[in-house]
A and B are shown apart, each in its own frame.
Chain A
Amino acid sequence: MQSSNVTDCTMRKRGTKRKIEIEKRMTKQQRSVACSKRRPTLFSKAADLCLLSGANIAVFVTSPDENSDVVYSFSGYSHASEIVDCYLNNKSPPKTTINPESAKFWWEEPDLYRDCDDLSELRIIEDRLMRTKKHLMDYLEKKEKSHSVSKSDQNPNNDSGSSSSSSQIASDFGQNPSTLSPSSLKIVSFDQNSYSSLEPSSQVTTCFDQNPVFSVGSESSSDQSRYLVNEDSGFVDGLLCETEEENNGMRLPQETQTQPMFTEEDQSFWENLDVDDVFGLFKDDNNLEVPLQDHSSTNEDDELLIDISEYLSEEAMECPCFS
């Protein structure tokens, strides 16, 4: 009775680990089950030992069936047959050359072909390298294809958008899209300094919004607001602000023209001033290093001036504000 109670107690304890008595199983089925369950564990333990300590191990386990002629074997770095040959012939097995600090790919091994004099071996190495390269290229191509497919799925109207944007720009300029040459257009980005230092005599014609956004001078030119500008001085009609997508569609060469607040001469002038004489009142005029700039309009500027009266109607001319 007492023994039955003990077995009941052990049967109740399902979750906890309990030690089993190491003795031969009675039935054939129990033996085969124990063998098939424990064999993989044994081999995995052997694999761990090989991996951690660099030892060469061969484990041989026969089948539990008496009549079957099966021997299960596991080996570490070398093949089981190699280890058996080494043992039978009293030879040492090949050394395991694994350096944990520099665990690299086989083709990164520095002594891959230096000590090799055999042409056939070199050919084999070359063949392996070629195959590896091919595999890598195939894998990369597959990845690229999958990326391109996913991108095309995300924005299928991408190509049509670029062409439409270019035609829209052309229509804004009053030109045919085919005749619109990228060389006639220029992207100019302005910061605060350049805007303040622009003179009326400058040849670049610009078109600003009513409330333009100007970025601080320290920011990069890509973040600054871009304006489409024509190089020809006679072409003043249609100028528009352009977005980045339209830039990509047009494939225009982007140039950034930023003019500093002061020229080098101006800076040297301000640096050379004494602290007492801040505005240079007590110095002669000939000491001034910076020549005075002539801001008078040139002939080129006169060409740009338009007579407004041509465009005004007679009724507008009669209006007292124009008289």
Chain B
Amino acid sequence: MGRRKVTHQLISDNATRRVTFRKRKDGLLKKIYELTVLCGLPACAIIYSEYKDGPELWPNLNEVRSILNRLSELPVEKQTKYMMDQKDLMNKMIQDAEKKLEKEKMHTRAMKLGLMAGSNDLITDTDCSEELARAADVVDKKLKAIRERIKAVEAGAPIIKRD
């Protein structure tokens, strides 16, 4: 049984929003705890919500104070360099997705070229003009290399035999 796809926008129903907040907050704090244990580094969270008047602190007040002091001691450039908000996170995700897409495109191009080269059907396939252009470049380079080798052989260079 698959999970329901969650639409990423503010939940309009108050009760549902409250339940979602509680469950997801617990999940988030668990993740932070796991990170602190696995990597042995201090981390903290400050959560402001409409369900509590003051902020919720994790893990405790002293830990939060120490991390914030450490943050305030840093120069302004270093403070802001690794600060992320929703927009920055979205941009980063988009960049990662684009990189992944480019990788996949390169992979498919290589596969197409392999298929075309295997079937000797380079001229009739007009759908992938970019791939054909790349293939033409490769062929040109190979031709140049072969012609240079031919000239060298004609000039009397030794022929290297490969097993």
Contacting pair B28 A42 (CB below 8 A) = yes
Q: Contacting chain B: which of A74-82, A123-131, A187-195? A: A74-82
Inside 8 A of A50's CB, which chain B residues have their CB? 86
Contacting pair B84 A87 (CB below 8 A) = no
Contacting pair B85 A53 (CB below 8 A) = no
Q: Contacting chain B: which of A62-70, A146-154, A169-177, A314-322? A: A62-70
Inside 8 A of B55's CB, which chain A residues have their CB? 86-87
Q: Contacting chain B: which of A96-104, A231-239, A258-266? A: A96-104
A56 at interface by CB-CB < 8 Å: yes
Known A-B contacts A22-B34, A42-B35, A56-B48; the reply to A62 vs B41 at CB < 8 A is yes
| Chain A nearest Cβ from B70, distance in angstroms | 6
Tally of chain A residues near chain B (CB < 8 A): 59
- Give chain A's interface secondary structure class: mixed
- CA separation between A100 and B45, bound complex, in Å? 26
A41 at interface by CB-CB < 8 Å: yes
Which of A22, A43, A48, A101 has a CB less than 8 Å from the CB of B37? A22
Known A-B contacts A42-B31, A42-B35, A53-B20; the reply to A64 vs B40 at CB < 8 A is yes
Inside 8 A of B48's CB, which chain A residues have their CB? 55-57, 83, 86, 92-93
Give A69's nearest chain B residue, CB to CB: B74
Q: Which 7 A-B pairs have the closest CB atoms?
A: A53-B21, A56-B48, A55-B49, A35-B39, A61-B43, A49-B24, A58-B46
User: Which residues from chain B sit less than 8 Å from chain A, CB to CB?
Assistant: 6, 8-12, 17-18, 20-21, 24-25, 27-28, 31-35, 37-50, 55, 64, 67-68, 70-71, 73-74, 78-80, 82-86, 89, 92-93
